[in-house]
Amino acid sequence: MNIVSSVVEVRAQVKEWRRLGLSVGLVPTMGYLHEGHKSLIVRAVAENDRVVVSDFVNPTQFGPHEDLDSYPRDIDADSRLCEAAGAHLIFHPRPEDMYASDFCTWVDMTGLTEGLCGKSRPGHFRGVCTVVSKLFNIVAPDRAYFGQKDAQQLAVIRRMVRDLNFDVEIIGCPIVREADGLARSSRNTYLNAEERQAAVVLSRAVTLGRTMMEQGERRAEMVLFAMRKMLEGEPLARIDYVEMVDASSMQPVAEIRGPVLCAIAVYIGKTRLIDNVVFEG
């Protein structure tokens, strides 16, 4: 398995694979890989002849007071996980490889990006759409794999692919959780022992919401009230949002007629974590 940093190298390798008639899968990541990422890579390996994992902390999706500088990085550990999962190439560019000093072209979206994480992280999805568009143009994959934990991102990428006619199939993969239910995240490493224990309240709240919907509750306000009450019972938790939206349009819903996305973002101490459940109805 090779690690390359230049766009030219990636394109040359993919071109050779294409010459041999091989299919190509792409797993876009920001590195510091964990079992959730590994599950994406394993599925990509099962469904494609060759798999590229991009390992790039994308500066354009971070706000001015967010954790770009402190975001965890470990390319050596990432390469070991990728190799164990069966990936064939890691694309590990530097920021200057992706963004020229006079870079001024962006991919942006309205509607889907205005609520949930887009509301509290202005500009975030412009950075996401731009970097993912660049990765699609560089790798030209047949399929690209994204985790359901970032449910709004997954919906945004699917809409972007449809609207801009990218020739790539978007595959959403299930959330991978710790034994106690906490969704796997690179940011979990920010948590101290007390915060890590408190963070389980996110998955407990999501499970409560799912259970209420499965038992027949169709009033979004009742589900959200119960989830918010549970989260507020954890002293270390500070709610960013608890919302119910249409799973495709990302617009708020009052009555649960699936598929809907029930999504939460919560600060545990200084660490912002997200979780969600999709209910088909």
Active site residue ranges: 37
Across 230-243, b (16+ Cβ under 10 Å) vs e yields bbeebebbeebbbb
Report the candidate in 116, 163, 169, 130 with the shortest Cα–Cα distance to residue 146: 169
Q: Bin 75: left if φ > 0, else alpha if -120 < ψ < 50, else beta.
A: alpha
Nearest 10 degrees: CA dihedral of 220, 243, 203, 123? 160
Report the candidate in 196, 197, 201, 245 with the shortest Cα–Cα distance to residue 224: 245
- Is the CA virtual torsion 220, 225, 226, 227 positive or negative? positive
Separate counts of helices (H) and strands (E) for the chain:
10, 9
Across 105-137, b (16+ Cβ under 10 Å) vs e yields eebebeebbebbbbeebebbbbbbbbbbbbbbe
What is the radius of gyration, based on Cα positions, of the chain? 19
Ramachandran angles phi, psi of 275, nearest 5° = -160, 165
